[in-house]
Amino acid sequence: MTNHPSITPDAAAAIPLWPQGAPGSSSQSPGDVPAITPFFPSPEKATGAAILICPGGGYTFLAAHEGEGYARFFAENGIAAFVVTYRLGSNGHHYPAPYQDVSRALRYLRAHAGDWAIDPHRIAIIGSSAGGHLASMLLTGFDAGIPGDPDPIERQSNRPDLGILCYPLIIIGPDADRRSVANLFGPNPSPGLATLLSTELHVTPSTPPCFLFHTWEDKSVNVEHSLAFAAALRAHGVPFDLHIYQHGVHGIGLGGPWDQPATLHPWTRDCLYWLKLQQFTR
């Protein structure tokens, strides 16, 4: 696995998801305050679509190149991007804390869509590696919101309109990355948690359309994870694009700097083409 720097939240730009404190967390230290950081396209490029970005990092850290790097790439292509800083197992925040954070983030985007000139019906989610697992949990475990909740954000649906999964962890089994699973589960996991969090088992016909990419060479999260999720999508009649590339290490991200198109991995072009078909880009 390639080593990459972790995200350091910008306190001036980050928007706390729970200003009064996240569920089950009384600490206000940076690692305990889930937030979103926005990256907006220029007005002449904006399409009105948005994307929520879940960086990878094995539920241990948040990889900057799969966060801000992705955000700047999508903003350059007209999509308002929001990087979610979710709580991590390495800080003692095990399931369901990361899921609560990304769920709240999606609701938050929909609740504030009018403030940011984004279409509440064109909000995608993207995640890489462990972030891909987190995104897949929301793609298969969403709800319509809670009508009448005193918090207007909680009244919103947390269902993404599209999903993009980059070399995602999907199958929680013997071959899953041990660090990611340990950080997600915590020291005393309840029985059945592996089945609950193996997201290929929870795809339904209501799962949003998805784009998946993986590399055959990936030795940290093998290609079977994407294949299993795609097979489940196919079985339930959910449209998807699946791209398996022969070369590329785990954690490849964009493949190069977001502002140097010649260095970017082909998945970025394939994804933009798919997003155009979904009417997220021009």
91: which 2 tokens? 């800080």
Residue found under tokens 């900057």: 64
pLDDT digits (tens, 9 = 90+) for 202-227: 999 999 999 999 999 999 999 999 99
Examine residue 231 and state whether it is found in any structural domain, yes or no: yes
Residue found under tokens 């022969």: 246
Which residues, including other chains, have CB under 8 Å from residue 123's CB and lie 6 or more apart?
A: 49, 50, 51, 52, 106, 109, 110, 113, 160, 161
180: which 2 tokens? 């990611």
Lowest mean pLDDT among 14-18, 23-27, 98-102, 229-233: 23-27
**Does the global pTM surpass 0.75?**
yes
Distances (CA, A) of 273 to 108, 240, 269: 27, 13, 6
Q: How many domains does the chain have?
A: 1
Examine residue 142 and state whether it is found in any structural domain, yes or no: yes
User: Amino acid identity of 172?
Assistant: I
Which residues, including other chains, have CB under 8 Å from residue 31's CB and lie 6 or more apart?
A: 87, 88, 91
Examine residue 188 and state whether it is found in any structural domain, yes or no: yes
CATH number at residue 266: 3.40.50.1820
Examine residue 23 and state whether it is found in any structural domain, yes or no: no
Examine residue 22 and state whether it is found in any structural domain, yes or no: no
Looking at the chain, how many residues does it have? 282
Examine residue 9 and state whether it is found in any structural domain, yes or no: no
Examine residue 40 and state whether it is found in any structural domain, yes or no: yes
Average pLDDT for residues 187-205, to the nearest whole number?
Answer: 95
Examine residue 15 and state whether it is found in any structural domain, yes or no: no
> Which residues span the domain enclosing 224?
36-277
